[in-house]
Structure 1
Amino acid sequence: MSVIDDTQQFNDLAELYERFRPSYPRAALDRITAYVREGTAAHGKGPALLIDVGAGTGISSRALRAAFGPEPEIVGVEPGTGMRTTAESEHGPGGPREAMDIRFREGTAESLPAANGTASLVMAAQAAHWFDRPAFYAEAVRALRPGGALALMANDKDWDRSALVDDYETFLERHGDGYSRHYRAIDFAGELDRVDGLGDADDSATPWVRTLDPDAFIGLAMSTTMMRPVVRRLGHERTSAELRALLERHGAADRVEIPYVTRLYLRRRRH
């Protein structure tokens, strides 16, 4: 079981999540693709099964399909009913993205719906901090074929490169329920290096900038669970007004630039 018991907590955010959350930079996706292909080629095979754990509304699953092309099977594993329903509505029979050919299944990181030694990739994008990670790592090792890859990836806002983002994080820390901007400051590399059965570390950080209009910035903010206590405390109208005032203070009333760093941790399943 996940350390976060309520796997349905994003259900009422699914529409906002799909509309406003970013995808991932091509450089990071290309690095995953090359790493996976290298590992599978060493065993005389191409990528067969790619598992996206905590797939949400399918943003990262679609990114995998775009990066790998049509051949590998892609399965998005998502416990949240609302998130999974949104993903399926985008990709299911008759949906506007049917050609993407991605299957979404109910499941958790700690009990993957995959047979032993079948996956070329197990990936968690923007999700691993929610998991019981020791259990997840053991499951990933079980599900991966020899030479297969475990990937952890996350888009982190870079407040060191933006006074606006720094101010936004301070706003959340001031009005949230014990929120800290460092909530994802986890030693993922160290954890992975201690996992029996994994090796061949390849870690990277890709800086990039996302440009939004103010409405999309507010939509992005409202798609996060950390904004919930702020809205409960201040109300939706005041929260939105405070966010618009923040943008105005930083000269971003018409155009918002958010610097990100996409952190990627790759490890290979040993023989």
Structure 2
Amino acid sequence: MTQQKEKFDGLAKGYDLYRPRYPEALFREIYHWLPKDRLLSIIDIGAGTGIAIEGLTNLLGQQHHYTAIDISQDMIEVGKQKLPWVNWLHGSAEQHLSSVGSPDLIIAAQSFQWMDRATVLNLARNSLTDKGVMAILQNNRDYRHNEFINEYENLLEELSPNYSRHYRDFDYVQELNVAFQHEYALHITLNIHWNMMIPGEAFIGMSRSSTQVQRALTAHGEQFIERLKNLVEKYQSDDKLTILYESQLFMVVKQNKHGAEKE
């Protein structure tokens, strides 16, 4: 856990300021499957500064029971400042999921790849209430359809030790299928393509908030930033860049024997 914690400590303020938020359509899909007649228990694992909880509260409001779990105390401190109604727990999902009661929703946003995924999914399956939801969210830079992002990935792969643009290429659908194979469960996948206009300087700031860039800076110093500035200058128009994203939701909804139909 210490190694993972050190990846994110010191990056929290930049992370929260610059990281792209998730499309509302992903949260609307999650919201559709949640009970509407009572207060809910919602657990965000690998919560960072609570970006996913922000998106959820736009639809659900603040009255529910929110718990955020993260291994970085720096992330938690920033999260507490903006989301004081959330119960923040320091540690890993593997440590805390067995003692958080019976949540209605467990969400992992931009964090699931860092976890012991099989263990976390087994804990989620065992702890979720009937008709509970396990949701995995991620924003991926769409390097296949964006020349700037493709060159940015090339730069990271050249200068950030051990980095690969494929570091999140896991079959989450299959992993969810395996974990919930003995449950009556509904499986849902949603992909959304969208673009974000961002000032070039803001993109550089967002880059500095990433662990991959911090490793590049440790290995090569400001050489990385100078090359990134040249790349930004090449592709920006009116001092802005167009960044393409593919946002994904992988979700499973526990069902009773008669609950396989979408209401």
Normalising by structure 2, we get a TM-score of 0.90
- 1:55 equivalent to 2:40? Answer no
The one of 11, 22, 25 equivalent to 1:24 is: 22
1:54–1:109 Cα contact (<8 Å) kept: yes
Quote the residue 1:219 is aligned against.
Answer: 205
Quote the residue 2:227 is aligned against.
Answer: 242
Quote the residue 2:254 is aligned against.
Answer: 269
How far residue 229 of structure 1 moved from its aligned partner, in angstroms, is 2.3
Quote the residue 1:158 is aligned against.
Answer: 142
Alpha-carbon distance in structure 1 between the residues aligned to 2:236 and 2:245: 19
Alpha-carbon distance in structure 1 between the residues aligned to 2:218 and 2:95: 34
Quote the residue 1:199 is aligned against.
Answer: 185
- 1:229 equivalent to 2:221? Answer no
Q: How does 1:1-271 map to 2 (within 5 A)?
A: 5-36=3-34, 40=35, 45-46=37-38, 48-92=40-84, 101-113=85-97, 115=99, 118-196=102-180, 197=183, 199-236=185-222, 238-252=223-237, 254-271=239-256
How far residue 116 of structure 1 moved from its aligned partner, in angstroms, is 6.8
1:146–1:270 Cα contact (<8 Å) kept: yes
Cα RMSD after superposing both structures:
1.9
How far residue 6 of structure 1 moved from its aligned partner, in angstroms, is 3.0
Amino acid at match of 2:227: E
2:9–2:75 Cα contact (<8 Å) kept: yes
1:198–1:267 Cα contact (<8 Å) kept: no
Query: Which region of structure 1 is more displaced relative to structure 2, 208-217 or 4-13?
Result: 4-13
How far residue 215 of structure 1 moved from its aligned partner, in angstroms, is 1.3
2:149–2:243 Cα contact (<8 Å) kept: yes
How far residue 91 of structure 1 moved from its aligned partner, in angstroms, is 2.7
How far residue 124 of structure 1 moved from its aligned partner, in angstroms, is 0.1
How far residue 239 of structure 1 moved from its aligned partner, in angstroms, is 2.2
2:133–2:251 Cα contact (<8 Å) kept: yes
- Runs of 4+ residues over 3 Å off in structure 1: 113-117
Alpha-carbon distance in structure 2 between the residues aligned to 1:130 and 1:46: 33
* SS of equivalent residue, structure 2 residue 130: strand
Alpha-carbon distance in structure 1 between the residues aligned to 2:246 and 2:76: 27
How far residue 114 of structure 1 moved from its aligned partner, in angstroms, is 5.9
- Number of aligned pairs? 254
CA 1:174–1:252 in structure 2 vs 1: closer, same or farther (change >3 Å)? farther
In the TM superposition, what whole-angstrom CA distance separates every residue of 1:214-262 from its partner, at most 9, and x where no partner exists? 11100111111111221123213x3222111101222446001111011
1:107–1:113 Cα contact (<8 Å) kept: no
Alpha-carbon distance in structure 1 between the residues aligned to 2:238 and 2:152: 14
Alpha-carbon distance in structure 1 between the residues aligned to 2:100 and 2:239: 51
Quote the residue 2:260 is aligned against.
Answer: none
Stretches of structure 1 lacking an aligned partner (at least 5 in a row): 93-100
In the TM superposition, what whole-angstrom CA distance separates every residue of 1:99-144 from its partner, at most 9, and x where no partner exists? xx22222231113256576211000000000000011001111221
Stretches of structure 2 lacking an aligned partner (at least 5 in a row): 257-263
CA 1:121–1:169 in structure 2 vs 1: closer, same or farther (change >3 Å)? same
1:109–1:139 Cα contact (<8 Å) kept: no
